[in-house]
Amino acid sequence: MTGLTQRRREPGEEPRPDDPDREPPYLDLDRLEARAREVLAPPVYDYYAGGAETESSVQEAPQAWRSWRLRPRVLRATQADLATTLLGTPVGTPIGIAPWAYQGMAHPDGELATRRAAARVGALMTVSTSATHSVEEVAAAAPDAPAWFQLYRQHSPEHTADLARRAGAAGYRALVLTVDLPVLGRRRRDLRNDFALPAGLRMANHPAPDDRPALSANASTSWTFDDIARFAEISDLPVVVKGVLRGDDAVACARAGASAIWVSTHGGRQVDLVVPSAHALPEVVDAVRGEVAPDGSDVEVYVDGGVRAGSDALVALALGARAVFLGRPTAWGLAVGGADGVAAVLTGLSEELAHAMTLCGVATPHDATPDLVVRAGWLPR
């Protein structure tokens, strides 16, 4: 994990096996989170790590992937190739970066460092509306690498529409509508800490406080299915709908003009006791099978939530996800090692995925088919 070594050794000194600061020869996300907790201010760590109410959904998400078991194929000599396409855009790995807010709290370069790391690895980054650098600044940090822009409903319909237009003009390849936030989840850690953006940082894509128009009493706090096609037209981009956990909602989004559905619990930060992404994914994949995107291609499905190992990612691909996205692990990587830390997380999990694919006789992400997994009936559902 280049760039994450904590202790400075003397010139020529070799790391000792018992050195507590010696990097393990694999991606240790628990250790990485512990180190991130040491360098982040407590309210910032709580903001990234916390979830809604009792945080049951946060805790259950990783374990939900472990309720599946792989069924390896044997006698298939293969070398795994992770390359795939997302909405027609080539990427080097099906493991990408989910949108997460206020990255400048984790590292001074914030989203710019994350963008450069994703470009280095060949991964796709989804840039949050709640970024500490603007739509254009993040795009310019790696102008030739693909990225998507995630859109929240902003302080006025006009400002939200302008953000969508700017994303299209800046070269983003898709617009990701996050639809699971009609109101902010009740996050007890943030309430306890009276969380606020640290001094010196800005919500770069939000209007300045003095420029924010007041919403009328009749203003809607939510989007509708009609907004999917509307934002596709405004931005001239394919629309991904993020935050879907039901098959019927997925079909409605697809028929309203979505090019892809993103299964997500918002990191367990919105509704507690929500169905884990690992369990919602098969229903959504089954529901949209045969649905057609506006360009005539099949509607794609993505997933995030609790992916912490290459085998988790392989289960997701086998269940029908075209890609998996990471949130908190990239936050810990950014906090500890900047761009190098994010690249180390993406590389480590991609290497684990390739290793698991080889062991299971899977040559490409598209070869991970449903017969590769079975629900572990002896484990709690």
Q: Is the pLDDT of residue 24 over 90?
A: no
- Structural domain spans, the chain: 44-207+224-375
Q: What is the pTM of this model?
A: 0.91
Q: Is the pLDDT of residue 25 over 90?
A: no
Over residues 333-350, mean pLDDT: 97
How crowded is residue 164: how many other Cβ atoms within 10 Å of its Cβ?
A: 26
What is the distance of C-alpha 180 from the center of its chain?
15
Question: What does the pLDDT read at residue 154?
Answer: 75
Enumerate the known binding-site residues for FMN: 99-101, 128, 150, 178, 242, 264, 304-308, 327-328
Q: Is the pLDDT of residue 221 over 60?
A: no
What's the length of the chain? 381
Please name which of 258, 244, 237 lies closest in space to residue 174, comparing C-alpha atoms.
237
Mean per-residue pLDDT of the chain: 90
pLDDT digits (tens, 9 = 90+) for 172-211: 999 999 999 888 889 999 899 999 999 888 888 987 765 5
Over residues 354-368, mean pLDDT: 96
Q: pLDDT grade, residue 373 (50/70/90)?
A: very high
Q: How many helices (H) and strands (E) does the chain have?
A: 12, 12
Question: What does the pLDDT read at residue 62?
Answer: 95
Amino acid identity, residue 93? T
Find out whether 287 and 268 touch, Cβ atoms under 8 Å.
no
pLDDT digits (tens, 9 = 90+) for 78-130: 789 999 999 999 999 999 999 999 999 999 999 999 999 999 999 999 999 99
Give percent of the chain above pLDDT 70: 90
Q: Is the pLDDT of residue 15 over 60?
A: no
Class of 44-207+224-375 in CATH: alpha beta
Q: Which are the catalytic amino acids?
A: 266
What is the distance of C-alpha 340 from the center of its chain?
18
Q: Is the pLDDT of residue 309 over 90?
A: yes
Q: Which two tokens stand for residue 59?
A: 């805790």
DSSP secondary structure code for residue 53 in this structure:
T
Enumerate the known binding-site residues: 47, 99-101, 128, 150, 152, 178, 187, 242, 264, 266, 269, 304-308, 327-328
The helix/strand/coil state of 40 is coil
Find out whether 259 and 239 touch, Cβ atoms under 8 Å.
yes
H/E element, 230: helix 226-235
What is the distance of C-alpha 25 from the center of its chain?
25
Q: Is the pLDDT of residue 232 over 70?
A: yes
Question: What does the pLDDT read at residue 340?
Answer: 97
Enumerate the known binding-site residues for glyoxylate: 47, 152, 187, 266, 269
Question: What does the pLDDT read at residue 215?
Answer: 39
pLDDT digits (tens, 9 = 90+) for 267-288: 999 999 999 999 999 999 999 9
